[in-house]
Amino acid sequence: MSGYYAWQSRIYDATRWAFLFGRDALLDHLQLKPGDRVVEVGCGTGRNLAGILKRVGASGEVVAVDCARPMIEQCARRIRKQNWSNVRLVDREYGGTPVTQGMADVVLMSYSLSMIPEWERVIDCAARELKPGGRLGVVDFRLGNGATAIAGFESWMTRNHVAINRPYLEKLSSAFHPLLCATRKAFGGLWSYYEFVGERR
């Protein structure tokens, strides 16, 4: 993954706005509040950090997790530039031991779950990451919802290490109590993406 992002990380924020829909809306749906501790799995360049910190305030904390070295480096530069003191950057693959030992209020995955081979393990780890009543938010690509050109899109995404043909919503809905579960069309149905917000059971 580090090799894939060696070049991609330089243009990631400038290009991904065109097809990574629903990221800001998901932050609203999670109803983050001051003092929340948020774990972002697959933080990438740190694009979501400002929006999270705006909601959790100085009393909150963000634990930003990624395993791609070029993305970690971009995120670290962003943190230094903004002088954020309540962001902890963790360089590791997610899915083993929870990074907060079950003390997180929210776990966020923004277009990262579909790039993780052991995605079911990651969802199970996220459940252990959360306090009782904690919330998981996921936005990502998926098949369905009447997308018209999804076959070609799926093939292209597979070549870019993104797996969109997995039963994500079924697994998420069994591991968490769904508060929001919606599939939406992008670009008039060229592909679809889903938003999921669930509460720890």
Over residues 194-200, mean pLDDT: 97
CATH number, residue 50: 3.40.50.150
pLDDT at 170: 96
The residue type of 105 is D
Q: Are 30 and 21 in contact (CB under 8 A)?
A: no
Total domains, the chain: 1
Sheet with 104-110, edge to edge strand ranges: 87-91, 61-66, 37-41, 104-110, 130-142, 191-200, 176-186
- Highest-confidence range of 4-8, 9-13, 57-61, 69-73, by mean pLDDT? 57-61
Render pLDDT for 35-61 as a digit per residue (tens, 0 to 9): 999 999 999 999 999 999 999 999 999
* Mean pLDDT in residue range 83-89: 98
pLDDT of 197 over the 70 cut = yes
- Give the model's pLDDT for residue 67: 93
The answer for residues whose C-beta is within 8 angstroms of residue 126's C-beta and 6 or more apart is 39, 41, 107, 109, 136, 175
Flag whether pLDDT at 14 surpasses 90.
no
- 81/79 Cα distance (integer angstroms): 6
Confidence at residue 161, expressed as pLDDT on a 0 to 100 scale: 82
Name the pTM for this structure. Answer: 0.88
Domain that holds residue 120: 2-200
Structure tokens at 23: 């990221």
Express each pLDDT in 120-173 by its tens digit.
999 999 999 999 999 999 999 887 655 444 557 778 778 878 898 899 999 999
Look at residue 18 in the predicted model and tell me its pLDDT: 43
What percent of the chain has pLDDT above 70? 86
